[in-house]
Structure 1
Amino acid sequence: MKSFVSSLALFAASTFALPQQLSSLEGRALSPYAPVTTPCPSNSPVRKANDVSSAESSYIQQRQTKANAALAAWLTKTDSTFPTTNLPIVGITTSGGGYRSLLTGAGVLQALDARDGNTSLSGLYQGFTYQAGLSGGAWLLSSISGNNWPTITSLKTNLWETAFEESLFDPDGALLAVADAVITNDIAAKSAAGFNPTLTDPYGRLLAYQLLSGNDGGVSDTLHGLTSNSNFTSQAVPYPILTSIGVNTDVGQCTPSSNGTQYELHPYEFGSWDSGVGAFIQTQYLGTSASNGSPVNGTCHTNYDNLGYALGTSSNLFNEVCISDPTLSGLSSNLTTELTNFLGAGHQLVTRDEYAVYPNPFQNYPGATSVSNQTELSLVDGGETDQNNPIWPFLHRPNVAVLFVNDNSADTSDNYPNGSELYNTYQIAKSDGLTRMPVIPPDTTFVSQGLNIRPTFFGCNTQNTLTLIYLPNHNYTYDSGVSTAKLQYSKTETDALIANGVAVGSYNGNGTFAECVGCAILKKTGGTLPSKCQSCFSSYCYN
């Protein structure tokens, strides 16, 4: 995601496909974007990170029953000799990488979706229990979940093609017309509610117009509100998780350290497993300041978890400028002028503006030593620790056995992955004593063995680690190494990137790939497998 920094200046001068979605400002003085005071729950909304929440556990238990049925159906279709009892929990992740990752990741999902795909892997998506995304991958996951999990074809045809095509570089300032009409009102309402906005607010609102189909760019959509969507209430879809990284600006940090605190944002909870935090708050009560787990002055807030703000949090890279110039003067005048206009007339940019800011619910909380004295949490792009694949949540969920990892990172000069992001996660997990991460080789080995241009299975031969089914972006049918700084896509380009993503997800129609994926999934069960699986493991398993 590093190259995305250079695109932020362009972002501020982009025209978004907004006019057809705009509603009148009449009656919107109290914008649905603003957090509101709400009664506090009878028990503390904050808890220690001992395990997943009871709400998530309940969802997963019900989801797994349905996912196992779908997974068994896919396995039987793929090879009637596959055993289909005692199936593992399977998830999928999509990396950061801006629109490149959104569109490539969308193609991967389409390849796996029984409703939409036409590959030998179609039906696997219905067998997933978890789905995670960061940055561009978070855009994809938020667009899918925020629109109640439609097909990729539906999103592409009804929203993305037009939205991404009309995101034109516009030096004449059409963005200001939009800001004056709608978004400034939303930002002002948040400020009036007592929550000072930052650049992530207009950034997230603008992205939401491209990704969410609700009124005014899904201004009323919240992260916890996903639990009310019909496909969620019926446990028909994987549980969604976004990730972000914490930065301690109180001690002068601009960017996180290599092992910076990893935060999760999902429908039921927000927080971190990492030492120094080790706590979660119920997502619907984000915006609530707490001390030792008790809401300050007995006051709770809700609506802070606007879905656009959440996906903006996972992809926020404004803090990169803090390294050389905390006033953002190093960026173009369009960025400093256009986005600052959302924050109010005469606003002077400060370091705080560069972060996605959350009132700290973990003040004075036992074990939350790294954030105990902070009144606010400052969050940035989920890939800023050079771990551009959101694997971290599943190192803390031992019930997850197999994880598909779609890596669309721009590690090379031509914007393709080289395995370094995966290797970094392995190194940091090992140093933190997290043993569920399988052995990953350094990028030199990745490239020399061609692991960066074809699917590879990691962790095949270890029962106590995840099995990672690694799906790197590769130019099978289209040069998908598009710069992260590219912000405008014609319909042809959108369609071509998604189509290439289908090839990424299906190994370009490789005749034996589906069977080998089935072998990799079932190996974690420890049961007897067809003899053909040994050939698969020889071809796809690292070590």
Structure 2
Amino acid sequence: MLFTLLALAGTVSATALTAAQGYTPTTGAQPRKRLDPLSRRGIDAKRQIVLPSAFRSYLDTVVRAQVQLPAYMYDILWSEDPTQMTTDGIATSGEAYRAAMRNGSSVAVGTCGLLQATPSIAGLSGGSWLVYSLAQSNFPEVQDLVFGENVTGGYSRWNTEYGTLTLYPSTNDTINAEYMNQTVVDITGKYNAGWPVSIVDLLGRSMGRHFLNGTTKTNFFDNDTVHGAGVLFSDLQNVPTFVSRQQPLPIVVADGWSKYPYGPDGGEAQGSQVPPTNIIYEFNAYGVIRQLVAFTPIQYLGTTNESVCVTNFEQAAFIIGSSSDYYAASNSSVCSWITLVNESFTQPDVQLDVALYPNPFQGAGNGSFTEINETYLSIVDGGNDGEAIPIQPLLVKARKVDTLIAIDVNAEANDYAAGGDFIASATRAALFPDAYTFPPIPLNTSTFIAKNLTRRPTFFGCDTPETPLIVYIANGGPPAGQPAVTNTSDDTWTPQLIEAFLDQTFDVATQGITNGTVGARDTEWGSCVACAVVDRERYRQGIARSGVCETCLARYCWS
């Protein structure tokens, strides 16, 4: 296979070079633009312009469930005063396509509209595919995004027929050779311009074919299509629903990896997991945030000094590929990728299983920033620290998040969630008490499993108003009477499997509990979520819980 690929190196069309050029960073003397590090500008604008009507629409949906609500819910959700509005956030975990699949059928259960009233949504690994592709496609229904139905304006559907995490997506060896040859050619311009390249550049180019606008099922292997090369993360700022603040601020989370010893093949020599004290990086439409305290505008990602400005480094596919780079923890599975990069480019001192970013924070900060002296940041899948639910950015005190919906689809026990990544998030938050607040949760997976906390939605923090109230929804097993679908480990998907998966994720997220019976759908579930959303503002106004909110929180709160 490799020899065939190399033999094809001289047969690339001229139009394919457009992809290589589009992927290559450029340098110039443009002034660097300073922005608010936590993107408060966009979130504050959303609060002023969008949230009043968004919460009213959400309330209309909740009311349709015909559950009598306490008067204070109407007062809070109908308020036009930004200081009296609640702030929520959503974090969607990793696990490849399983994390990317979400169901949009929420009107009937009273949760429709909540996403539109959410200021921020964070994704990690497979969750980053969902977050970015939703944002770039003008925020369609997930079914439309996956299947391509009702998607207009140049937006593309996902290409689920081809595995995202495989080196060879076709069953035809010749097509695979051409595919990988083109992927190498696409990143050659970046290499020739003096930038290091790694397997994450190859992975990013694959992400472009699967999730970025412009690639379809019919042109997936077409080398005359640029497949997202030149599509920048900051391009999200021009998407209509982003401009109008109708969609949440999309956040992609990844881990720092650079202070650990590595073997000669680029893999880690001692251990395979990033410790909880690692640096977490946040990529959003405005900038990159390092560990809460350092910020660089995303348009100038790659710039490391004030005299030379770099643009075009913030390739969207490279960033979501960075968040998906779990290979750094399992190097043996990608030896052929590393061999391919090694044989295509001369880089004797470059680590090949991480994403490499010129360090914009070099020399800045203090000793707690382990990468302070590194020329390049080494960035990997945000789940390599065991925290595959990207809730850390939403726990930042400065963001003032009241309610956080944490979606856990990690594969811990029989490919189902067991609470381990949620526990890891709590452990890390406790290490940085000045930055984060985290409610009490069980600190062992045996409690999560024994108490069915991954088999039904659970609220954490009901009695700790100084922390966000976390609505934890985990993929801990199929609903009662249904076959196992959502624990699939497939990387390629048939339409039938996708439909079954979307249907079951909807049931998992909305089944609730009735009379203590796991799997019996709670007809008050939509109202219970709304009660959680307004609970912190209720507390600030000194109002006691009452009615359905009192009974809902008694039913769902962990104590």
Using the size of structure 1 for normalisation, the TM-score is: 0.83
1:264 to 2:264 alignment: no
Alignment partner of 1:471 out of 465, 473, 477: 473
For 2:246, give the aligned amino acid: A
Which residue number corresponds to residue 518 of structure 2?
A: none
CA positional deviation for 1:236? 0.7
Single out whichever of 163-172 and 29-38 deviates more from structure 2: 163-172
Give the secondary-structure state (helix, strand or coil) at the position aligned to 1:119: coil
The CA distance in 1 between the partners of 2:417 and 2:19, in whole Å, is 46
Deviations 1:248-276 (A, max 9, x none): 247659452222111101111102235xx
CA positional deviation for 1:284? 0.7
The CA distance in 1 between the partners of 2:379 and 2:35, in whole Å, is 19
RMSD: 2.9
Q: Is residue 66–residue 236 contact of structure 1 (8 Å, CA) maintained in 2?
A: no
Deviations 1:126-183 (A, max 9, x none): 2222111100111111221122212112112129987222445637253221233x43
| Structure with bigger RCO (C-alpha 8 Å, 6+ apart) | 1
Q: Which runs of structure 2 are paired with 1:122-271 in the superposition (5 Å)?
A: 122-158=112-148, 163-167=159-163, 170=171, 172=173, 174-180=175-181, 182-214=182-214, 216-249=226-259, 254=268, 255-271=273-289
Q: Is residue 63–residue 237 contact of structure 1 (8 Å, CA) maintained in 2?
A: no
The CA distance in 1 between the partners of 2:158 and 2:324, in whole Å, is 22
Structure 2, unmatched stretches of 5+, are 3-11, 150-155, 164-168, 216-225, 513-520
For 2:142, give the aligned amino acid: I
Which residue number corresponds to residue 313 of structure 1?
A: 322
Figure out how many residues of one structure are paired with residues of the other and give that number.
Answer: 490
Using the size of structure 2 for normalisation, the TM-score is: 0.80
Alignment partner of 1:111 out of 89, 105, 109: 105
Single out whichever of 64-73 and 445-454 deviates more from structure 2: 64-73
Q: Which runs of structure 2 are paired with 1:75-474 in the superposition (5 Å)?
A: 75-78=62-65, 79=67, 81=69, 82-83=73-74, 84=77, 85=79, 86-103=84-101, 106-107=102-103, 110-112=104-106, 118-158=108-148, 163-167=159-163, 170=171, 172=173, 174-180=175-181, 182-214=182-214, 216-249=226-259, 254=268, 255-273=273-291, 278-290=293-305, 295=306, 298-321=307-330, 330-331=332-333, 335-337=334-336, 340-341=339-340, 345=344, 352-367=351-366, 369-396=369-396, 397-412=398-413, 414-433=414-433, 434=435, 436-441=437-442, 442-473=444-475, 474=477
CA positional deviation for 1:428? 1.8
The CA distance in 1 between the partners of 2:157 and 2:137, in whole Å, is 16
Indicate the percent of aligned positions where both proteins have the same amino acid. Answer: 25
Structure 1, unmatched stretches of 5+, are 1-11, 13-21, 322-327
Q: Is residue 252–residue 282 contact of structure 2 (8 Å, CA) maintained in 1?
A: yes
Q: Is residue 157–residue 211 contact of structure 2 (8 Å, CA) maintained in 1?
A: no
Deviations 1:272-310 (A, max 9, x none): 235xxx2010111101123xxxx3xx0011111111111
Give the secondary-structure state (helix, strand or coil) at the position aligned to 2:553: helix
CA positional deviation for 1:491? 1.2
The CA distance in 2 between the partners of 1:38 and 1:491, in whole Å, is 46
Q: Which runs of structure 2 are paired with 1:44-55 in the superposition (5 Å)?
A: 45=34, 52=39, 54=41
Distance 1:59 1:534, change over 3 A: closer
Distance 1:451 1:250, change over 3 A: closer
Distance 1:281 1:514, change over 3 A: same
Give the secondary-structure state (helix, strand or coil) at the position aligned to 2:23: coil
Deviations 1:300-335 (A, max 9, x none): 1111111111111111022124xxxxxx5x44xxx4
Distance 1:532 1:28, change over 3 A: closer
For 2:373, give the aligned amino acid: N
Deviations 1:447-503 (A, max 9, x none): 11111100001111221111111111131345234354x211111111111111111
Distance 1:131 1:468, change over 3 A: same
CA positional deviation for 1:217? 2.6
For 1:228, give the aligned amino acid: N
The CA distance in 2 between the partners of 1:173 and 1:259, in whole Å, is 45
Q: Is residue 20–residue 229 contact of structure 2 (8 Å, CA) maintained in 1?
A: no
The CA distance in 1 between the partners of 2:13 and 2:243, in whole Å, is 29
Give the secondary-structure state (helix, strand or coil) at the position aligned to 2:176: helix
Single out whichever of 415-424 and 249-258 deviates more from structure 2: 249-258
1:515 to 2:550 alignment: no
Q: Is residue 93–residue 404 contact of structure 1 (8 Å, CA) maintained in 2?
A: yes
